[in-house]
Homo-oligomer: A and B are copies of this chain.
């Protein structure tokens, strides 16, 4: 690592988003992990928990201690279960550590909304200072933040896909959006369940939590429109494809829609609008922080398809992108690699 490499503490290393943050920071030119915290797994060799790390140098897994983290790092990435991040973030902020939270605990600024969607927050005052972590949405605010609640995987995909049309006023007044999203199984985490048991996940597809998933209010908050959201579980490990149905205002031409999308992302390093007629595929962004968007206007309906890797742009990669901004680094640092294809 270079002498100016910035120390980062990673809290929660045994789940998929933590493992992904570890992968990304290891190949980051300006960051290094100075402390690796785990819960029940603390004390174990990392390779027992993450066998793909066998033979690779890495810090040991230690129990979380806010004082020790504050001594070891100016930035901490939280990759812990929802609920658990509330205390950890508070303790770290109190000690001057800037926090990037990959969990759902700091995505809403409004404590009442948070309580409605999840449960009352242990530290509502944290919500007053949190910034929603989608750089394409609010880059400037992230730069100045000391607490970022990185967006959920589904919301990231839907927000990037729907926002240009919403922002440009292309939709019908009072329109609501339908987001039919298809996710890989890592989105369900690393704990084995009946739903993720191979024989009941492979060779089949199903929806779940139809119209009741907690990512819908997050999408609505970020987009300012109502979103009817149906998530589906696909027999693949990584990736989200969101097929978004947006009712166009009368008179909006297909060409205008395409121009709006092209302009919206012309300068975005991680978002690419595909040529007319081209369909995005999740496998083309696997392992990357990139988002590919296909735009299909037809008469009064706009269909947008948006693909990301749920563990990267939908979690750890977006976290590193936010951290880059907060630390004054090049936003693309450590995130410029291409997809593992196929």
Contacts and interface: CB of A to CB of B under 8 A. Distances in A.
A248 interface: no
A197 B200 contact: no
Interface in A22-46: 22-23, 26-27
Interface string A294-336: 1010100101010100000000000000000000000000001
A60 interface: no
A236 interface: yes
B342 A237 contact: yes
Given A197-B192, A203-B237, A210 B341 contact: no
Given A237-B342, A287-B340, A338-B26, A202 B203 contact: yes
B338 A23 contact: yes
A259 interface: no
Contacts of A190: 197, 199
A205 B282 contact: yes
Contact of A198 (B54, B237, B278, B336): B237
B283 A52 contact: yes
Interface stretch (A142-150, A152-160, A163-171, A180-188): A180-188
B301 A228 contact: yes
Contact of A282 (B204, B236, B283, B336): B204
A296 B231 CA distance: 13
Contacts of A99: none
Nearest to A186: B199
Given A55-B290, A232-B182, A279 B340 contact: no
Among A199, A271, A301, the one with the most B-chain Cβ atoms within 10 Å of its Cβ is A199
A272 B338 contact: no
Identical chains bound together, number: 4
- Number of contact residues on A: which range applies? 35 or more
B337 A205 contact: no
A274 interface: yes
Nearest to A240: B205
Contacts of A336: 26-27
Contacts of A294: 207, 210
B211 A341 contact: no
Contacts of A178: 178, 245
A241 interface: yes
B337 A23 contact: yes
Interface in A85-143: none
Given A184-B203, A202-B235, A340-B340, 19 more contacts: A27-B27, A52-B283, A52-B341, A54-B274, A54-B284, A55-B271, A178-B178, A180-B243, A180-B245, A199-B237, A200-B283, A203-B236, A203-B286, A207-B241, A210-B294, A210-B305, A235-B236, A237-B342, A238-B342
6 contacts: A26-B336, A178-B178, A186-B342, A192-B197, A199-B237, A206-B280
